[in-house]
Amino acid sequence: MKTRTTLLVLTLALFACGEAAEPGESSTTTITTTTLPSTTSSMDVTTTTEAEQVTVLAHDSFAAGVSDDTFAAFTEETGIEVEVIAAGDAGAMVNQAILSKDNPFADLLFGVDDTFLYRAVDAGIFTPYESDGLDLVPDGLELDPEHRVTPIDYGDVCINYDRSVFSGDLVRPLNLEQLANPEYRDMLVVEHPATSSPGLAFLLSTIGAFGEDGWQDYWRGLIDNGVKVVADWETAYNSEATWRGGDRPLVVSYASSPPAEVIFAEEPIDEAPTGVIDEGCYRQIEFAGVLDGSDNTTGAQALIDFMLTTEFQETIPLTWFVYPANEEAELPPEFVENTLVPAAPLRVDPETIDANRERWIDEWVEIFEG
């Protein structure tokens, strides 16, 4: 039982993909995939008889999910091996790519999301590529009309709630506004936006919902209502949540957290102990981009094509606990039965984020210190 519980904690931590590394922590792990026999692939790419390699610079959470099977079909089809270099959180990854842009040590960058997208784009680290696989990707996920980056997956940061706490007379909150109501005093825990990707996403959701003129007053209302702030997702979810023995039944997490609860439950369960409040979710889209100056531009483009295939896209939910960008990819039953895809997730324009991110975080800190 202990092994399955530990696996659940580790797996849930993976999809809190932007958590900052501790100061001084090394993030130079290299993972190389090996070729395994495969007969399933729908790629239409040129094969090669020579041994080649594509090197992918990625955030730690993506790298941690890579196994010998991940790119086996791609290697079988093309003869190209894939090496994945783990580069810390999303911000650290982008910084490394920018610092090495004149002599890149990778061919492809994976895992930049809208919070750091224009830092990377404006630095000129990508070369444009428009994959045919984009025909199966909704227009709403394509944030760069110049195709310098390609959407691969997305995740929704949402408030998770404890079903057992809100199963009687107390009804769960329905939206962001209600989180500041007195009946939910001392129930909410959030992550710090300077040290946590879901924490930053939740801050952006409040800016998207209440605007530049209203988000600060909203946070003051949350403070008056007893909101608790912790450094990272793991602390919020695995220590503060009531379903983990804490005292907070409302936690900033992901729409994919309830399916993970079912998949990794110590004993089989029919329903997740948690649910998702769909109003107020913030959508994080993850992109891949071919690095300008790559030693293998053609191979990097082929890998993007592969990552958009239905076969690969259907491995995404149970590997990284995010959602496939390809509309034809089917979700596992655990996702269909235990969570939802928000109908109207909140968004903030990536260029606006890039121009204001640090100011917004500083102002948020001032609110809590004031």
In contact, 84 and 30? CB cutoff 8 Å: yes
- Residue 29: the pLDDT is 34
Which sequence spans correspond to the domains of the chain? 16-154+284-335, 156-282+336-369
Average pLDDT over residues 308-320: 97
**What average pLDDT is seen over the chain?**
88
In contact, 240 and 246? CB cutoff 8 Å: yes
Whether 347 shows a pLDDT value over 60: the answer reads yes
Binning pLDDT at 50, 70 and 90, where does residue 41 land? very low
In contact, 126 and 106? CB cutoff 8 Å: no
CATH of 156-282+336-369, one of 3.40.50.1820, 3.40.190.10, 1.20.140.10, 1.20.1440.230: 3.40.190.10
Which of 77, 148, 153 minimizes the C-alpha distance to 119? 148
Average pLDDT over residues 76-84: 96
Whether 233 shows a pLDDT value over 50: the answer reads yes
* CATH superfamily entry for domain 16-154+284-335: Periplasmic binding protein-like II (3.40.190.10)
Global pTM reads: 0.85
Residue 2 pairs in a beta bridge with none
Rounded to whole angstroms, the Cα distance separating 106 from 291 reads 7
Percent of the chain scoring above 70 in pLDDT: 86
Rounded to whole angstroms, the Cα distance separating 222 from 216 reads 10
How does pLDDT run across 235-275, given as a tens digit for each residue?
999 999 999 999 999 999 999 999 999 999 999 998 999 99
Average pLDDT over residues 318-330: 97
Q: Which two tokens stand for residue 272?
A: 């997740």
Rounded to whole angstroms, the Cα distance separating 257 from 336 reads 13
Binning pLDDT at 50, 70 and 90, where does residue 16 land? low
Average pLDDT over residues 117-122: 94
Rounded to whole angstroms, the Cα distance separating 298 from 344 reads 37
Strand ranges (E), the chain: 30-32, 52-58, 80-86, 108-113, 150-162, 188-191, 228-230, 250-254, 274-290, 323-324
Whether 48 shows a pLDDT value over 90: the answer reads no
Whether 50 shows a pLDDT value over 90: the answer reads no
- Residue 51: the pLDDT is 52
Which of 69, 127, 137, 78 minimizes the C-alpha distance to 286? 137
Whether 36 shows a pLDDT value over 50: the answer reads no
Tokens 């896209």 sit on residue: 313
Average pLDDT over residues 101-113: 96
Q: What are phi and psi of 134, to 5 degrees?
A: -65, -15
Q: What is the DSSP string of 285-353?
A: EEEEEEBTT-S-HHHHHHHHHHHTSHHHHTTHHHHHSSEES-TTPPPPHHHHHH----SS-B---HHHH
How does pLDDT run across 275-299, given as a tens digit for each residue?
999 999 999 999 999 999 999 999 9
Binning pLDDT at 50, 70 and 90, where does residue 89 land? confident
Q: What are phi and psi of 179, to 5 degrees?
A: -60, -20
Topology alike, domains 16-154+284-335 and 156-282+336-369 = yes
Rounded to whole angstroms, the Cα distance separating 111 from 90 reads 7
Average pLDDT over residues 97-102: 96
The vertex-334 CA angle with 339 and 208, nearest 5°, equals: 25
Whether 157 shows a pLDDT value over 70: the answer reads yes
Whether 175 shows a pLDDT value over 90: the answer reads yes
- Residue 168: the pLDDT is 85
Rounded to whole angstroms, the Cα distance separating 260 from 252 reads 15
In contact, 275 and 262? CB cutoff 8 Å: no
Binning pLDDT at 50, 70 and 90, where does residue 12 land? low
Rounded to whole angstroms, the Cα distance separating 43 from 50 reads 18
Residues 6+ apart with CB under 8 A from 361: 193, 194, 200, 203
Rounded to whole angstroms, the Cα distance separating 17 from 233 reads 9
